[in-house]
Structure 1
Amino acid sequence: MGWAALGRRAGGGGRLSPILSLSLASLTSSLLLTVLCILTLAFTLATIVSAEDIFEEGKSDKEILDNLLLATRYDKRLLPPVQGTLTVNVSVLLLSLASPDESSLKYEVEFLLQQQWYDPRLRYSNRSRYEFLNAIHHHNDIWLPDTYFIMHGDFKDPLIPVHFALRIYRNGTVNYLMRRHLILSCQGRLNIFPFDDPLCSFAIESISYEQTAITYVWKNDEDTLRKSPSLTTLNAYLIQNQTITCPIKASWRADGQLIVDYEDEYDDFGDSKCSLCQRRFEEQGNYSCLKVDLIFTRDRAFYFTTVFIPGIILVTSSFITFWLEWNAVPARVMIGVTTMLNFFTTSNGFRSTLPVVSNLTAMNVWDGVCMCFIYASLLEFVCVNYVGRKRPLHNVVYRPGENPVTQRLPAVLSRIGIILASPLLFLTDKSRRCLQMRHLHSVKKGEKKREGSATATGGGGASGGASGGPNEIVTCTNCGPNPCTHTATNGCAAEVRKKEPPHPIRVAKTIDVIARITFPAAYFVFLTFFFIHYKGVS
């Protein structure tokens, strides 16, 4: 009979009732929705089957990635949909270290930066023959962390345009590898150069995602950097490195005023650590940060062979003049002036390569003290030459090889009755006549003194004149220059005269003898203090 007949019976005039019309409309809508759902499910199943077919048929990784990165299923502007915070594992592999020269504070560091995270949208079938997909040509279509470097320095442009690698594994793990070449301006203590250990630091941070969205962690909790088996170094001597999270948090207000936690502003050595640290912006948020510290040292052998050992040789060469004769003017002048000029040339040539600083450095101390020793040895020669050329008092004759003890020995022995051979037997005629004239002069002086002592009461004057001090020599005026053959009290008139001053040549030689001991000893003390002090400070 049909719906029309029912409608005619119910309506009685060929018209459908309103209730029946609504029922028909709702039924039609339900049928349409059911058909749409079935079509959508069929399309989805067809897509999955098609994808599985592509993976199983061994299509290229580029085709698989094209399928995975369809705009309908992947949006690179969105973070990977993971529970909680997205964790980015970071590791660094050192490739090369270099410095322009030994005294520079700029170091070139080349390394591989590996970042690894999980993106469930990029999982693919395990039945594929690919262990990982090479996504180097799809890097513009995949979400990547916006990592940037905080450092004192610049980037060095890569020689090749492609300097990264991008791999996607079956479980959705993404491995992003970048090759970076940094030129870092390091922190060194030039006041103790070359005994300082420069510190180079750089940090990595997310520029737009807060710590609640992305967290950077060191892969496998590594506390040091990994070194490549083919690591090359040039004038860069790495002694220590560490990988840490940025320890300091600084707060920046909207108006630019900085609020710093002063308890953690400085490290154990008193150096500021806020240059490369985790920054927390009050309005923008808090960001995850990782830091790398590289501690270098200087090549001690280079500085010893270039600066210290040549300086020690030049200074000790200036001490050779103390063992030469006082009147060897050409030799002593040549040694003194040559060592001074050579030291000036060596030190100025080396200091021209050092950075200029205003405070006193270890190299200034070294150059200044060494130059003082060389100049002092030259002044010692001038003093010795001046003293040796002075005219002796009372025309004292200098007899090389004698000393005051041997000169007084004949007179002392004659007083106790021991007769020695006359020293006049071993003198030339000219020297003998000179001594005889001096003897006659002393006899005349003795007669004048005896005439003056006759006016004195008693024998006090004679006894007082005969008793000399330790610096007086008693001579017999009756026996002449020959040794006395009698005792001192055998009626021989005695004359007391003062000890003659030392000859200027003897004074000059004495100065040389003293300098032979004091100069090397003082320089050895300086060397010991210099190396122990500055090495201990470093």
Structure 2
Amino acid sequence: METFVLLPLLLGSWILLPSHGPVIAQDIQTVAECPPNTPGNDCPAFNISLDLSEKAALDLLLSKKRYDTRLLPPSSRELTINVSVLLLTLASPDESSLKYEVEFLLNLVWDDSRLKHEWVRDPADPPSFSPEHHIAFPGRANPRRRQYLDALHHRDRVWVPDVYFVKHGDFRANLDPGNLSLRIFPNGTITFTQRRHLILSCQGNLPIFPFDDPKCKFAIESISYEQDTLEFKWQTETGVLRKSDNLTTLNAYLENNTTGLCSSAHWRGNYSCLEVTLTFSRDRNFYFTTVFIPDIILVTSSFITFWLEWNAVPARVMLGVTTMLNFFTTSNGFRATLPVVSDLTAMNIWDGFSMFFIYASLLEFVFVNYIGRKRPRRAHEQATPVSSAPVCETNKLGEGNRSAPGSPVTPSIHPTEIVSCTRCGTSPTTHPANSGCSSPTWRRRIIENPIRVAKTIDVVSRIVFPIAYAIFLIYFFVTHQAFKKITSSSC
């Protein structure tokens, strides 16, 4: 009895099994329309029914039976990758920093003939059917997405070129999948957009800091495929990067940017390379309000001492010392934010001359006070009595008689007559009879009116110091183009 029951089941399974084999083979043949080694762009378009959802269409299009993500797209020449960059955010930690954070959208476009597809109408649909009717059928694809397939969640199943950033600085990887966009168009064109964040260590002209324009460079190249296999090209025609309409900046003032090629042969091979140069400018207004104008005020404040009385010691000392201490405090506080380098030539010149003028005004006060306190010439003459001339052996010129050794000058000799003296030195000398031997030491010059001299020095300083400082300011700012207008060129 059991034999008669099992026999029909075995016969039925034997009859049905051959029918399933051709069905599976037919499905495989339908999917594998483009062999992996198809040369050029000869892959035919893959037909996708309008009834399929986007996920189902991508599952068929990216099936392992017809698409190998490990292989490059078929091409008769090197595969061309069109690259474009859209700037989103530019930031810097502070005004004097040489590190800039750049956030942008990297857009890659290439052709993959293996992913050509065509939407076809289901034969079961009526002849008057249009894709707009699909919105009324649940489970069918959204007709608004018929222009491309959104392959965001199929990222691992699509070949994407490897992009390597050659730069100076840090890199922050984007782990959020929402920062990706992968679209497959019916003609086989693929657009891959990714949000990137770079921290660039820029190069500035430190000898003219803070009037330099830092330049930040980074390059894009392939690390796996050489130039004869894969080539990067800029998609932009203007040679500059595009800026987002909502571009945000923080302590970063983009003056201009340029794009170029940097392909060159290396020991590891010749790889296609694209270069980006971002030129920033510093905020001149910031440095004028925080550094230069305060220093100018301190230096000119030290010149006020020239208008005070020469003997106003407390006021002039307090003003000179206070300005010097305030300048040191301001300068040290600003330099604490600067890079620790030795070639800040412009700032060294500025600090050096500012300290020179402040210290020179203080020394001028010391000198004027010293001159003004000297005794005038008349008081000096009254305090110093005239002493009689020392007696020496003399011999009247033109006469043969000689006075005895040690005897004073004879009365027959007139006091104003020139006599020869043998006691004023090793050799005979001549001098008037009423004067003694000349002293070999220098006599100090006695000022007739010291107060007038001190006031004259103050008057001259009122003119010389401001003019000299004004000449220095004009030379310094004109040489370093301090008043250069900050402009941001459109990208």
Q: Same fold (TM over 0.5)?
A: yes
2:202 is equivalent to residue 186 of structure 1? yes
> Among residues 435, 455, 470, which one is paired with 1:509 in the alignment?
455
Q: 1:470-481 to 2 correspondence within 5 Å?
A: none
Q: 1:347-426 to 2 correspondence within 5 Å?
A: 347-395=331-379
2:468 is equivalent to residue 518 of structure 1? no
Paired with 1:118 and 1:53, the residues of 2 have a C-alpha distance of 18
**Contact persistence 1:222–1:243 (CA under 8 A):** no
1:520/1:154 CA distance change after superposition, 3 Å: same
**Contact persistence 2:32–2:65 (CA under 8 A):** no
- Return the letter of the residue paired with 2:477: F
Q: Give per-residue Cα distances to partners, 1:189-225, cap 9 Å, x unaligned.
A: 1111101111100000011111111111111434000
Tell me the SS of whatever aligns to 1:223: coil
2:50 is equivalent to residue 56 of structure 1? yes
**Which stretch has the larger CA shift, 522-531 or 299-308?**
522-531
Tell me the SS of whatever aligns to 1:97: strand
Tell me the residue number matched to 2:211: 195
Paired with 2:27 and 2:248, the residues of 1 have a C-alpha distance of 59
Paired with 1:46 and 1:156, the residues of 2 have a C-alpha distance of 40
Tell me the residue number matched to 1:281: 266
> Among residues 103, 107, 111, which one is paired with 1:110 in the alignment?
103
Q: Give per-residue Cα distances to partners, 1:465-519, cap 9 Å, x unaligned.
A: xxxxxxxxxxxxxxxxxxxxxxxxxxxxxxxxxxx95410000001001101110
- Return the letter of the residue paired with 1:535: Q
2:158 is equivalent to residue 165 of structure 1? no
Paired with 2:297 and 2:47, the residues of 1 have a C-alpha distance of 82
Post-superposition offset of 1:358: 2.3
1:124/1:322 CA distance change after superposition, 3 Å: same
1:159/1:319 CA distance change after superposition, 3 Å: farther
Tell me the residue number matched to 1:431: none
Tell me the residue number matched to 1:219: 235
Paired with 1:39 and 1:521, the residues of 2 have a C-alpha distance of 98
- Return the letter of the residue paired with 2:110: W
2:309 is equivalent to residue 325 of structure 1? yes
Tell me the residue number matched to 1:418: none
Tell me the residue number matched to 2:136: none
**Contact persistence 1:224–1:242 (CA under 8 A):** yes
Tell me the residue number matched to 1:532: 478
**Contact persistence 1:97–1:236 (CA under 8 A):** yes
**Contact persistence 2:181–2:192 (CA under 8 A):** yes
- Return the letter of the residue paired with 1:154: D
Tell me the residue number matched to 2:62: 69
| Gap runs ≥5 in structure 2 | 1-20, 34-44, 121-130, 132-142, 386-413, 418-445, 485-491
1:40/1:317 CA distance change after superposition, 3 Å: same
Post-superposition offset of 1:537: 13
1:175/1:324 CA distance change after superposition, 3 Å: same
Paired with 1:171 and 1:96, the residues of 2 have a C-alpha distance of 33
Post-superposition offset of 1:281: 3.2
Post-superposition offset of 1:147: 1.0
Tell me the SS of whatever aligns to 1:100: coil
Post-superposition offset of 1:131: 0.9
**Contact persistence 2:48–2:118 (CA under 8 A):** no
- Return the letter of the residue paired with 2:362: L
Q: 1:424-435 to 2 correspondence within 5 Å?
A: none
Paired with 1:384 and 1:92, the residues of 2 have a C-alpha distance of 67
Post-superposition offset of 1:41: 7.7
Tell me the residue number matched to 1:310: 294
- Return the letter of the residue paired with 1:308: F
Q: Give per-residue Cα distances to partners, 1:119-157, cap 9 Å, x unaligned.
A: 111111144741111111111011110111000011124
Q: Give per-residue Cα distances to partners, 1:154-183, cap 9 Å, x unaligned.
A: 112447354211111111110000100000
Post-superposition offset of 1:86: 1.1
Paired residues, what number? 374
Post-superposition offset of 1:535: 2.3
Q: Percent identity between the aligned chains?
A: 60
Paired with 1:208 and 1:221, the residues of 2 have a C-alpha distance of 27
- Return the letter of the residue paired with 2:116: R
Tell me the residue number matched to 1:136: 152
TM-score (norm 2): 0.71
Post-superposition offset of 1:329: 1.2
1:219/1:456 CA distance change after superposition, 3 Å: closer
- Return the letter of the residue paired with 1:69: L
Tell me the residue number matched to 1:409: none
Paired with 1:503 and 1:160, the residues of 2 have a C-alpha distance of 86
Paired with 2:216 and 2:27, the residues of 1 have a C-alpha distance of 60
Tell me the residue number matched to 2:127: none
Q: Give per-residue Cα distances to partners, 1:348-368, cap 9 Å, x unaligned.
A: 000011111123521111111
Query: Which one has a bigger Cα radius of gyration?
Result: 1
Instruction: Select the structure that is richer in helix.
Output: 1
Paired with 1:371 and 1:501, the residues of 2 have a C-alpha distance of 32
Paired with 1:43 and 1:357, the residues of 2 have a C-alpha distance of 68
**Contact persistence 1:396–1:503 (CA under 8 A):** no
> Among residues 87, 90, 101, which one is paired with 1:97 in the alignment?
90
**Contact persistence 1:90–1:217 (CA under 8 A):** yes
Post-superposition offset of 1:521: 0.8
Post-superposition offset of 1:37: 12
**Contact persistence 1:91–1:114 (CA under 8 A):** yes
Tell me the SS of whatever aligns to 2:107: strand
1:44/1:389 CA distance change after superposition, 3 Å: same
Paired with 2:56 and 2:256, the residues of 1 have a C-alpha distance of 46
1:62/1:392 CA distance change after superposition, 3 Å: same
Q: Give per-residue Cα distances to partners, 1:216-238, cap 9 Å, x unaligned.
A: 11114340000001100001111
Tell me the residue number matched to 2:247: 231
1:39/1:162 CA distance change after superposition, 3 Å: closer
TM-score (norm 1): 0.65
Paired with 1:339 and 1:228, the residues of 2 have a C-alpha distance of 48
Paired with 2:196 and 2:326, the residues of 1 have a C-alpha distance of 45
Post-superposition offset of 1:396: 8.7
Q: Give per-residue Cα distances to partners, 1:432-488, cap 9 Å, x unaligned.
A: xx9xxxxxx9xxxxxxxxxxxx9999xxxxxxxxxxxxxxxxxxxxxxxxxxxxxxx
**Contact persistence 2:116–2:186 (CA under 8 A):** yes
1:46/1:62 CA distance change after superposition, 3 Å: closer
**Which stretch has the larger CA shift, 95-104 or 161-170?**
161-170
Post-superposition offset of 1:40: 7.0
Paired with 1:238 and 1:52, the residues of 2 have a C-alpha distance of 47
1:158/1:53 CA distance change after superposition, 3 Å: closer
Tell me the SS of whatever aligns to 1:89: strand
1:287/1:61 CA distance change after superposition, 3 Å: same
